[in-house]
Amino acid sequence: MRTVITGGTVVTAADTFKAEVVIDDGKIAKLTTHFGGTADETIDATGKYVFPGGIDAHTHLDMPFGGTVSSDDFETGTIAAAHGGTTTLIDFAIQQKGGSLRQALDAWHGKAEGKAAIDYGFHMIATDVPPPAIEEMGALVREGVTSFKLFMAYPGVLLLDDQSIFRAMLRAGELGALICMHAETGLPIDILVQRAVAAGKRAPIYHALTRPEAAEATGTERALALAEMAGVPVYIVHLSAQRALERVMEARDRGQPAYAETCPQYLFCSEDDLARDGFEGAKFVCTPPLRPKHHHEHLWRGLRNYDLQVVSTDHCPFCMKEQKELGKDDFSKIPNGMPGVETRLYLLWDGVRAGKISLNRFVEITSAAPAKIFGLYPRKGTIALGADADLVVWDPDKRHTLSVKTLHMRVDYSPFEGREMVGAPTHVLQRGRVLVKDGKFLGRPGQGQFLRRGTWSL
């Protein structure tokens, strides 16, 4: 099967050039100024960009959390992702306390198989690391699960103590794996939460007021120091605040292999959203919390200056009805998480249009950098000979309005309801097959492949 994309401007993290893209059997076979041969399908990309498919390195599909389960499963979540130009995601398998890593991985394979419409990998969330679990980490890495997420927050649920964190880090370092860290110091946060609830401070805004920037800054510093001591690369997930970013910059300046991602909600939403009237703020409860607006400029600067490497979504949707509502009378019971897997490229394109990031940097933070950091490059994350033909044909002028009525995520609200956007995909291809064309999904659940990722090698 041969497909040719004609007339477009190819954009990678490094280059921008006019080329025809020839795809043979799912792989990029030629990049040429003029391809005279025949093709089974031709896509006219005149006036459009051709990007590598988006890679979202942080999603939670079908995830039990906060007394409920995230509302998108691997079918609905991956179809929504495809609509927004994302062709690969890396989700999180979660070890049950007292359970094995193997059981967790098997469970998450079961959730994804036959359902995922785009390619996917897994990080492993380790919640309990006695010697047998530490031993098991080797088998997982050999099976392509080459990153482990550890939590400094959510006591009694996901939090690991420093000795456990350090043991897991030492082992990950030996195996060439990467540690992803939820870097908020959770035990004092819990006391602030208990005091707020006892004092009758129960509205969604208290989610932010009980999880201050200092808790994230000290968590980030501790995560970086432990990773340095263990000799392991570390990736700070969902970084939300200036002081946490400064800790990452210092570590990187010292030469430490340290990376960090932020998410669109930390670039576009703020504490003001949590303070909306009534229970509206619940739509914006995620962890770390949304920060005051002045953090936005620091995060954008971090993205521009290579201090932040990735924008992923932390897509963890819960409906207002029956899910967020669990915390109607107590913010601490609102399931933490926001929807976003579909809207990441739309929102970041705003950053390109506003001159906050370049075209090539847009491709880098949404595709090339996560591919490199998480062992998928150059199969994913670029447009080069032999790479998977995961491609987005992007119309930079397409106008549309974000709304729960037209988005595809299985959740009953959009945090960006009514926001007018410019820029959207006309075609999204995975391994050469058209998944989405002019807003219509043409793929099928189950065609996404599990990706065995390589070990860390930057």
Binding site for Zn ion (CB under 5 A): 182, 314
| Distance of alpha carbon 335 from alpha carbon 320, whole angstroms | 10
Output the smallest distance, CB 48 to Zn ion, in A.
Answer: 32
Within 230-259, the residues that bind ligand URP by CB under 6 A are 238
CB-nearest residue to ligand URP = 336
Between 212 and 432, CB nearer to Zn ion: 212
Distances (CA, A) of 266 to 21, 176, 183, 247, 359: 35, 30, 15, 17, 21
Q: Containing H/E element for 228?
A: helix 213-230
Distances (CA, A) of 88 to 180, 192, 423: 18, 38, 20
Pick what 336 binds: Zn ion, ligand URP, none; C-beta below 5 to 8 Å, kind-dependent: ligand URP
| Distance of alpha carbon 352 from alpha carbon 229, whole angstroms | 38
Interacting residue with ligand URP among 95, 336, 366, 382 (CB under 6 A): 336
| Distance of alpha carbon 23 from alpha carbon 386, whole angstroms | 9
**For residues 337 and 317, is the Cβ–Cβ distance under 8 A?**
yes
For tokens 């010697």, name the residue.
131
Pick what 427 binds: ligand URP, Zn ion, none; C-beta below 5 to 8 Å, kind-dependent: none
**Interaction of residue 286 with ligand URP, rule CB under 6 A:** yes
Between 332 and 447, CB nearer to ligand URP: 332
Output the smallest distance, CB 184 to ligand URP, in A.
Answer: 9
Pull the structure tokens for residue 249. Answer: 């910059």
Counting DSSP H helices and E strands in the chain, the numbers are 14, 21
Output the smallest distance, CB 404 to Zn ion, in A.
Answer: 22
Between 208 and 357, CB nearer to ligand URP: 208
Interacting residue with ligand URP among 4, 56, 60, 215 (CB under 6 A): 60
**Interaction of residue 323 with ligand URP, rule CB under 6 A:** no
Output the smallest distance, CB 306 to Zn ion, in A.
Answer: 23
Pick what 379 binds: Zn ion, ligand URP, none; C-beta below 5 to 8 Å, kind-dependent: none
Between 182 and 431, CB nearer to ligand URP: 182
Number of residues that bind ligand URP (CB under 6 A): 9
Pick what 339 binds: ligand URP, Zn ion, none; C-beta below 5 to 8 Å, kind-dependent: none
Interacting residue with ligand URP among 28, 140, 178, 316 (CB under 6 A): 316
Interacting residue with ligand URP among 48, 167, 182, 410 (CB under 6 A): 182
Output the smallest distance, CB 31 to ligand URP, in A.
Answer: 38
Interacting residue with ligand URP among 75, 314, 364, 390 (CB under 6 A): 314
**Interaction of residue 271 with ligand URP, rule CB under 6 A:** no
Q: Containing H/E element for 234?
A: strand 234-236
Pick what 286 binds: ligand URP, Zn ion, none; C-beta below 5 to 8 Å, kind-dependent: ligand URP
The dihedral sign for the CA sequence 243, 244, 250, 252: negative
Q: Is the peptide bond before 288 cis (omega within 30 degrees of 0)?
A: yes
Pull the structure tokens for residue 31. Answer: 């990049």
Task: For residue 232, give the DSSP letter.
Answer: -
Nearest Cα to Cα of residue 317 among 123, 94, 86, 68:
68
The dihedral sign for the CA sequence 160, 164, 166, 170: negative
Between 84 and 337, CB nearer to ligand URP: 337
End-to-end CA distance of the chain: 34
Output the smallest distance, CB 126 to ligand URP, in A.
Answer: 14
For tokens 């999904």, name the residue.
441
Q: Which residues bind ligand URP (CB under 6 A)?
A: 60, 182, 238, 286-287, 314, 316, 336-337
